[in-house]
Structure 1
Amino acid sequence: MIEIRPVEEDEFEEWQRAMYTGFLMEPVPTPDQLEAHRRQFVNSRSLGAFDGGRCVGTFRSFAQEVTAVGGAPVRSNAVTNVSVSPTHRRRGLLTEMMRRDLAAAEERGDAVATLIAAEYPIYGRYGFGAATHATAWTVDVTRSGLGSRPPVLPDGARIDLVDGAEVRKLGPAFYERLRPALPGSVDRGEVWWEARTGVLRFARDWTEPYHAVLRSASGEVEGLVTYRCEVDSRLGEQPQHAVIVDGLLGSTPAAEAALWRFLCSIDWVTKVKSGRRSPDDVLPHLLPDPRAAQIERHSDWLWVRFLDVAAALEARTYKRTGAVVLDVLDEGGPAGGRYRLEVSPEGASCTRAPGAGADLTLSASELATVWLGDGSLTRLAGIGRVREERTGAAREADALFRTPGRPWCPDVF
C-alpha cells in the first residue's frame, strides 16, 4: 500500500533521490546539492509517497509573494519539486499530494498557488492556468548594427564588474525596489541570492558567472546583469564567443538597454543569448537591426491557481471603470461560484453574487490566465474555452483586465 505523508528529517536524502529520479537527473545528488536542497527543506510542506519504505513521489511547497498588477504583494503557495517515479505513474499520487497541499494553503489563507509547469497538459486539471509567458532571443551581434563601441551612458553613470559577495549585498534591495513594477514577479529570499552567486550549488556543473552593475552618477544601482561566457576560441581564426545571460534587470527601459548594449560590446562576443525574458522586452527594438535578435523559444511560464478569488481580484489595480459577473467553475475546489467584480482606478470590489445573471462562464484556470493582464477573454471565448452569457461581455471584460505591458516572472522555482 502506498502511503502519502510529510517527509521526516531522516528521510530527506531518500526523498531527494526520488525527486532526482523523477526529473531524470543523476539519481544520487552530490554533497553540495544535498546541502543546498536541505536549506529549503520544511518537513510540514514536503510530501512524499512511500511504497514499502521507498519514496516514489515527491511534492514541496513554500511561502511566496507574487506581485499583482499595480504592485501589491499577494500571498502565494509556491509548488515545486513535483515528481512521480516512472514505476508508479498513473496511480493518482500527484492528485492526492496536490489535493492535500492546496487544502492546507487554503486553510492558511493564501490567495493563490503558483508553479512553473514542466509539461503543459498536467496542471490545468488542478485549476492552474498559464498567467505569464517568456521569450528567449539569440542576438547575432555582427548583424545587430551596434558596432563594437562601448555603450553610451547617461552623464556620470558607469558599469562595473562586481563579485558575488557584492551582488548579495546590493542585489536584494535593488530587486525589492523594482518588484512592485513587475507584475508576475515573485519575492527572492536569501537562498535565491546564495544560489545565484555560488554559495549554494543546486547544479552539478556550477560555473562562476560574471556580474555587472550599472550605477547612476550618484552611485545608486540602476541595473544588474549576471552572465556567463560560452567560449569558442579558434586559434588562428576569429573568436566567436557567446554571452549567456542568467538575469538582467534595469530600473528603467533605458537602464536595461544600456546593459544589453554593454553585453553586445564585449570583445570576441558574436552572440548574446538573452535567457527567458518578457515577451515585450526592449531587447529586439533597441537594436538598429531588430532582425538580428531571433526568437529561440517562447513558452508559458508562471502558472496560477486561485484559492481566494475575491482576494486575488481585489489585490490588483484596474485602469478603467466597469463591472462584470463571472461564473467560475472549479469542481471540488475553493474558487467555484458566481462573483460580481466592480473596478475603477480607485480600487476593486469582488463579492459572491449567486443570484446575479452571469456575463461570462469560465473555469478557474481560464480566469487565472487573465489575472495579470496577459490573456484574452475574447480569444478564449472565440475558441470555446470561455462562454459569453451576454454578447460583448468578453470584450468588455478584456478592457478591464488587460494592461499596457505584459506580466513577467524572471525566476524559476
Structure 2
Amino acid sequence: MRFPFVFGLTLSMAAVPALAATNEAAHRLAQDSIIVDTHIDAPGELMSHWDDLGVATPGKEFDYPRARQGGLAIGFMSIYTSPDQDNAGTAWQSANTQIDAVEAMVGRHPDKFAKLTSPADVARQRQGGKVLLALGMENGAPIGDDLSQLAAFHKRGVRYITLAHSANNRISDSSYALQKKWGGLSPFGEKVVAEMNRLGIMVDVSHLSDDSIRDVLAATDVPVIASHSGMRHFTPGFERNISDELAKAVAAEGGVVQLVFGTGFIDAKAASDLQASFQAEADFDRENAALVAAGKPARSKDDFEKAWKDAHPMPVTHIAAVLDQIDYAVKLIGVDHVGIGSDFDGVSGNLPVELKSVADYPNLVAGLQARGHSDADIRKILGGNLLRVWTAVEKAATAR
C-alpha cells in the first residue's frame, strides 16, 4: 500500500506512554508459530533508497534481525506499481525490477532469506532460521493487456495479485476512484481471475470497489484473500476497508481477510481525512486546469499537499485498535477466516505505537492472549489460515 499525500508522519513519540514488556509466553508463541504477513512494502522502498535488509536497517520497518526477533516466518514482499506508472507504460519494468531486488536479497544472504513459491516448502526452507520471502503484486497494471503475462509473473514467483490499486485500471474498479469505470470487474478482469485460478495465483480483493469484490466472488472457483484491509465497521463510509457483507462473503467461499495495522485504516478520523482528500485533490486539479486554460499560472501541487497535511494531522493510535479489528472480525466471520497483513514500509510510519516494525508481532500475540484467544486460534490468525487458502488455490491449479 502507498498512501496518498494526506498521510504525513506527525505523531510525537515523547507523548507516547512506555509499552509494558511483552510476556515470555507471547514471545515463545510468536517464535513457535508460522507468522505470515501478507503485505510488506520493502521492495518499493528499496527502489527509492537501497539498503541491505539482511542487517539492521533502522530507517525501514522490515529487516532480517527484527524479523527474527518478532518471529516472522513468511513475509509477502509487495511488488507495488502506481497508476502513474500504469499510464506511463513503466509498470512492467518496475515490477520486474522489484522482483530482482527481492531475489538479490536472497542471493546476498542465502543463510538468512529464501524465496518461497509454495506453502508445501515452508518447513524445509525455514531450516536454519531463514525468513521466507513470497511475492504479492499490488496492482495488476504490470500485465497490461496481455493475459500471458500472468504466467510470466507466476514463473517469477508472484503468488497473489491485488487486481487494482488507487485508480480504476484495465482489470477492475478501485475503491478509491471517485468515478467507477466498469461497475465492477471489466470483461478482461473476468479473464484475469479465471487465468489466476488456473495458474494458482491468489486473487486479492484489497483496494477493490464493493462491486468489483462481488464480481470476483462470482467469477472465482477458489477462495480469495484481502491481503491488507481493515473492517469498515470501524471506518464508516470508507470503501477501501471491507464491509461486513463482503467479509462474510469472502469467508463463505473459504477465503481470509488479512487485517492491516496502518493508522489510516484503523482510525475513523484518519480514514475520513483520506476519503476527503480524494475529493479535495480532484477539486484542486480541476481548478488548476481552469487556470491554465485561462492563461494563468497553475498553483503549486506541493503547496496544496503540504497545506492539506498540516490541516489534517495523523492521530496517534495504539495496538488496541488492531486488536478491536481482530476481535470484531473473529466474531463476524469466524477465526478460520482472519489473518494479518501489516502494510509495514507502506504507510510512512503511520502505525500503532506498539506495532512499529516486524519485531513487534509478539506485542500482537500478547494482546490476543490477554483478550482470551487460545494459542491454537492465535496460530490460525498469525498464518495458519493464509497457508490453508494458499494450499487450496495451489491444489486446485495443479488439478486442472
Q: TM-score range by the shorter chain?
A: under 0.3
Taking structure 1 as the reference length, the TM-score comes to: 0.26
More relative contact order, 1 or 2 (CA 8 Å, 6+ apart): 2
Taking structure 2 as the reference length, the TM-score comes to: 0.27
More strand by share: 1
More helix by share: 2
Give the greater-gyration-radius structure (CA): 1
